Amino acid sequence: MPEAVLIVFSFLIGAVVGSFLNVCVHRLPRGMLLHRPPSHCPFCNEAVRWYDNVPVASYLALGRRCRCCGIRISPRYAVLELVTGAMFAYITWRLTRGMDVDYVRLGVYVAVATALAAASFVDIECRIIPDEISPPGTLLAPVVALVWPHLLLSQGRDHLIVGPLAGLLGATPASHPHLCSLMTSVAGIAAGFVVVWALGVMGRLIFRKEAMGFGDVKLMAFVGGFVGWRLVLMTIMVGACFGAVVGLVSMARSRDTRMPFGPYLSLGALVAMLHAGDVVRLFERYAAAVAGAH
């Protein structure tokens, strides 16, 4: 079964990438360099040996403690490795079914998911999204859209995606795919930025507390550049649903576990990238059921 082998292989690659993300999550918000010094215990400064750096397995083998000083290692190390591995495996499974496997899409989606995982885990730990992730991603998105127009233009009704501006220029996805894809990406960046910023302003007016920070605004601009402006709205809607479910559960347990919004936006982005058609079908079925009830 070559397909199962491919998925297990992507899980292992993802776990190794997750191990590197742990370094990023620890060092980026602290303004430390990523490549120096080599991995070490933050408590006793002892360098981590290569055989203690195997994703997940070392964490379990060491009994969740540093080999040298015995201090507890945060479970985040194993969790992020597992999450990244699972993400790689799922994206690979989702995009390699069928005959024509789109390896460009697979590579781009895996890279975007990796950035989102890093942003989310820093957001959970430090309540910030480091500027090493969103702004470079936002600059890269239009370039990717320009080079590979099929990533953005294959996802739906073309005239809707490109919007009125392309119509004014007389460009269609069939006649000018690269231009239309570039405009879709730039429109996605603008939509992500404006919508989350407006939601944040409204949240402050209504709830009189910080609902969404500028880190979320920048993160959504980055996501918008890769999913296009139509899926920006789906990303925010799906993210808000995840947030509402978790919020209700934590309220029922009468615990104030206020989560930052970055991880929900990231989850919403993954759903929009991989399951946009399923979300639309679910919504249509719901709308038909509501209409049928009247």
Least separation, in Å, of the C-beta of 16 and Zn ion?
22
Q: What's the closest the beta carbon of residue 114 comes to Zn ion, in angstroms? A: 28
The residue among 73 and 269 lying less far from Zn ion, judged by its C-beta, is: 73
Is there a contact between 151 and 166 (Cβ–Cβ < 8 Å)? no
Say whether residue 147 binds Zn ion (CB under 5 A).
Answer: no
> At closest approach, how far in Å is the CB of 43 from Zn ion?
5
Number of residues that bind Zn ion (CB under 5 A): 6
Q: In this complex, which beta carbon is closest to Zn ion, that of residue 49 or of residue 204? A: 49
- Closest CB 35 distance from Zn ion, rounded Å: 21
By C-beta, is 23 or 237 nearer to Zn ion?
Answer: 23
Site for Zn ion in 20-79 (CB under 5 A): 41, 43-44, 66, 68-69
Tell me whether residue 71 or residue 249 sits nearer to Zn ion (CB atom): 71
Whose Cβ is closer to Zn ion: residue 24's or residue 41's?
41
- Distance of closest approach, residue 78 Cβ to Zn ion, in angstroms: 17
Q: How far is CA 130 from CA 119, 225, 275, in A?
A: 7, 18, 28
CB of 40 to Zn ion, least distance (A): 8
For Zn ion, the closer of residues 67 and 94 by Cβ is 67
List contacts with Zn ion (CB under 5 A): 41, 43-44, 66, 68-69
